[in-house]
Amino acid sequence: MKLGEFIEKSEVDMSDYRIVDSRKNTKGKSLQNSQRYIERQKDDRKKAIREKIAQDGIKDLGSDEKKRLRVKLRGTEEPHIGHSGGVSDRVYPGNKKYGAGDRLPRPDGGGGEGGRDASDHGEGDDDFYFELSTEEWQDAVFDGLEIPDMVKKFLAGVEEFELKHAGLTNDGPPNKMNIVKTMARSLPRRTAFRLPHMKRKQDLEDEIKQLEKELASGAVADPDAIAKRIDILKGEVKEVERKLASIPFLEKHDLRFNRHEMVPVPIAQAVMFCMMDVSGSMEEWHKEMAKRFFLLLYLFLRRNYERVAVVFLRHTTEAREVTEEEFFTDRDTGGTRVSSVLELMKEIVGKRFPLSEWNIYGCQASDGDDWRDDLPVVEECMTESILPISQYYAYVEVRQTTRASELWPTMNSLSQIHDNLAVALVTDQRDIYPVFRKLFEKQGE
């Protein structure tokens, strides 16, 4: 049945219907199975990358060299329906060793998978080896991560536009035709034009039936006049049918096209404060762990966000703003006063990043050592100044012992009260990536 005839007879809202393409896939393959296999291999590749990051660290994450990755091969064959259960006595062609009813011995070893030591039994598949570019590598590493609670606060001129639906128009290209709205106008028009003709046709057919009934009964005085009248009525019926057929399915004034306009959209601007403790208690191992974490954070921000400013702060008893190179390479050291870096962050926000225009984020790495007299100052500064202006604040403590530091109880207790504060502990280089994912994983995943 044609689309127009279906709509005309059913008189239903076409928005309730969807077109289903039931054409067979080429080469007899199942598209759904192929897609599931591709997604499965993507998941395997992501898992392999994350395991490699956890084992080898992130030192090569930002290099431009291609990286080779080994991924275990899983099921390249499409699923098929077969008989399950029961006993089979079938002997396959080419078998020269076993006959019907023979019991097959269990192999002594494993399945002979690729990558194992040499064996004279079993068979299996080699692993997949992928050559991944830096972009592909980072896509897998940072997939599913985001800066939490990013709010669009600022309309920055005409830098960013978005194509949005702006109603309907009477003219446009065929690919923008709104079929539902077009049919909604076409159907009432055709119905309105058809009703008089349909009523006229029904009246004519009823009259013809009545005359034919009278003619068949033989109780009429002039049968020839009745027959002539019937012929005239049938001619009128054909004329009415011609007029019905001449009503167009679509007319120009029925057509409706979607109209889109480019409109400016709010731009999400954010600043990330990277704060690292470089005091004397931060030994080389602590600094190395903190630098690796911040390197991962820096690559993530540069990879996923265009409008995120990064401010690097280092502190001993005094805090100062440094360049990216100084942040990762300077070797200055000294005493410890954690509140100094929080005070500097507050000062910089007040001078350069208005809260009405910027999302404020902070990430702090420290070994947790601090003067006892400074701990109440840190708690007050976090509660009164930093957390109220921050969308999200992450405190990462790097230490090799299980003994709690001076700063950890303060930060941990604050995290129980404030939802925008998260704390995490790194005791080994293998903790860095899992901790990073925990802190910046998308909500709901």
- Separation of alpha carbons 122 and 47, rounded Å: 27
The verdict on 67 and 200 lying in the same domain is: no
- Residue by residue, DSSP assigns 255-318 as --EEEEEEEE--B--EEEEEEEE-STTS-HHHHHHHHHHHHHHHHHHHHH-SSEEEEEEEESSS
The verdict on 182 and 318 lying in the same domain is: no
The verdict on 407 and 435 lying in the same domain is: yes
The verdict on 281 and 249 lying in the same domain is: no
In a domain, 230, yes or no: yes
Residue 342 contacts residue 378 (beta carbons within 8 Å): yes
HSE toward the beta carbon, residue 300, CA cutoff 13 A: 23
Residue 353 contacts residue 360 (beta carbons within 8 Å): yes
Please name every residue paired with 70 in a beta bridge, in sequence order, or none if there are none: 129
Range of the domain at 58: 40-73+125-133
Query: What is the chain's pLDDT, residue by residue, as a tens digit (445 residues)?
Result: 454 554 455 544 545 555 555 555 555 555 566 666 666 666 666 666 666 655 554 445 545 555 555 555 555 555 555 555 556 666 666 677 777 777 777 766 554 444 444 444 444 444 555 555 556 655 656 665 666 655 555 544 445 677 888 888 888 888 888 989 899 888 988 888 889 999 999 999 898 888 888 888 877 778 888 888 888 888 999 999 998 888 888 888 888 899 888 876 666 678 889 999 998 888 888 888 888 888 888 878 777 677 788 899 999 989 999 998 888 888 777 888 999 999 999 999 999 998 888 888 999 999 989 888 999 999 999 999 999 999 889 999 998 877 778 899 999 999 999 988 999 998 888 888 788 888 877 665 5
Distance of CA 371 to the CA centre of its chain: 46
Please name every residue paired with 397 in a beta bridge, in sequence order, or none if there are none: 366, 425
The verdict on 289 and 246 lying in the same domain is: no
CATH number, position 306: 3.40.50.410
3-state class (DSSP) for residue 350: helix
- Separation of alpha carbons 73 and 53, rounded Å: 20
CB atoms within 10 A of CB 177: 14
The verdict on 436 and 322 lying in the same domain is: yes
In a domain, 202, yes or no: yes
Question: Strand 161-169 to strand 128-132: parallel, antiparallel, or no bridges (unpaired)?
Answer: unpaired
Residue 272 contacts residue 365 (beta carbons within 8 Å): no
Residue 344 contacts residue 320 (beta carbons within 8 Å): yes
**Domain end marker among 259, 278, 299:** 259
